[in-house]
Structure 1
């Protein structure tokens, strides 16, 4: 597994840290100050990470079985269509709704909320699916893609972990800033999501072009 593949996949993971749901729910729980905050946030963030890891593993295993029997040229043209569609769609991204909120502070509720976050953001997890496609195209061994996928989902929930650690370290001194962040509308979220979709679309088109025009177009993860 080359450093280029690692860098590309983890770079896509950094795009996924821009998701508002993990940040919003983490701030909501911290500011509400329930008992067992550590257990509740650990359950929530763990559920989000586990759901994405499980989905990624299923996609990797499924794609690994299907891709070899599909004509490479046909698959590449399919990637071109998908990538161009994403590039066009990046200019027409609708404004996102508010992130879901926790209604009760129980471990079970936080587990369900974590799964709800996964479902809520499933349709916009474009960098995630681009990363899965890149790892599949690279033909990584199971141990390699599992480690890389694990790092990806850890980076996805990193903002929540960092907010939690900041709260543990600074306590009430962070309340004013956290309340501002929670109350502030997601200004610029449309532009941010547009850039995320555009970058993912570009990477998909580049991967397809490397298949259709070998020797002319090269990508670092191949």
Structure 2
């Protein structure tokens, strides 16, 4: 399992570079008494992403168990598709990022509504969560028991929401003095985030494709 975690942790770190959730968290921290709402938002993102990942893993496990002769080829075919899509998305990321979209802010800011907003935003982005799908494909291939699978997904999602926790921690530690720092972080993310994400997506896509080629030659990397 340690080798799997060594593979998943960098992917989770890549996946955590989510401009949507980061922008919402920064907005929430700019509202009066933001800590409960920020905690609710993080909980909504974490629980929903974890549950969606678990549902996909369980569904894929059931599918592969019904196709005993196909799993290796099926898994590597899926990995190849994900790798190619990651490569294409990464290559075109800067072009699509030129048109900035304003993040929709929750109209109401009760704790329950903020939790549901985090959940809804996560579900909306889930079909395009390519790094998560790459991680799920590797988890499915490992064929762990249910408890281990749930634990691995929890570790992945803890890393996914870690930037949101850091922002909340900065606010708790610095209070109102954190406003300028958070704004500076936001500007840095807007300036460098897309460029870094582009490189990482292309790198991960190439790695997945190379691993598929190595599998076809009888020498899989992972």
TM tier relative to shorter chain: 0.7 to 0.9
Q: Give secondary structure in 2 for the equivalent of 1:104.
A: coil
Stretch deviating more after TM superposition (39-48 or 137-146): 137-146
Structure 1 residues 217 and 169: alpha-carbon distance in aligned structure 2, compared to 1, 3 A threshold: same
Matches within 5 A, 1:24-43: 24-34=23-33, 37-43=34-40
In the alignment, is residue 218 of structure 1 matched against residue 214 of structure 2? Answer: no
Give 1:64's match in structure 2, choosing from 30, 44, 61.
61
Tell me the distance in 2 between the aligned counterparts of 1:123 and 1:191: 22
Which has a greater percent of helix? Answer: 2
Residues 86, 170 of structure 1: alpha-carbon distance in 2 compared, 3 angstrom cutoff: closer
Distance 2:178 2:75 in 1: 50
Moved more, 52-61 or 94-103: 94-103
Q: Which moved more, 1:20-29 or 1:203-212?
A: 203-212
Which position in structure 2 is the counterpart of 1:88?
88
SS in 1 for 2:121: helix
Change over 3 Å in CA distance of 1:168–1:101 after alignment to 2: same
Partner of 1:134: 138
Any stretches of 5+ residues in structure 1 without a counterpart?
none
Give the match for residue 77 of structure 1: 77
Distance 1:40 1:170 in 2: 18
CA deviation digits over 1:37-61, x for unaligned, max 9?
3321121110101111111111111
RMSD (CA atoms): 2.3
Compared with structure 1, are the counterparts of its residues 157 and 140 closer, same or farther at alpha carbon in structure 2 (3 Å cutoff)?
Answer: same
**Contact 2:48–2:123 (Cα < 8 Å) also in 1:** no
- Comparing 43-52 and 76-85, the one that deviates more: 76-85
Deviations 1:85-119 (A, max 9, x none): 43233211211633332322112320222023213
Normalising by the residue count of structure 1, what TM-score does the alignment of the two structures yield?
0.84
Distance 2:155 2:189 in 1: 30
Partner residue, 1:103: 107
Distance change (3 Å), C-alpha of 1:26 and 1:74: closer
Pair 1:44-2:44 in alignment: no
Query: Counterparts of 1:101 and 1:182 in 2: how far apart (Å)?
Result: 16
Distance in 1, matches of 2:203 and 2:128, equals 13
**2:125 aligned to which of 110, 121, 125:** 121
Is residue 2:32 matched to residue 1:22? Answer: no
TM-score, with normalisation over the residues of structure 2?
0.84
Unaligned residue ranges in structure 2 (runs of 5+): none
2:179 alignment partner in structure 1: 175
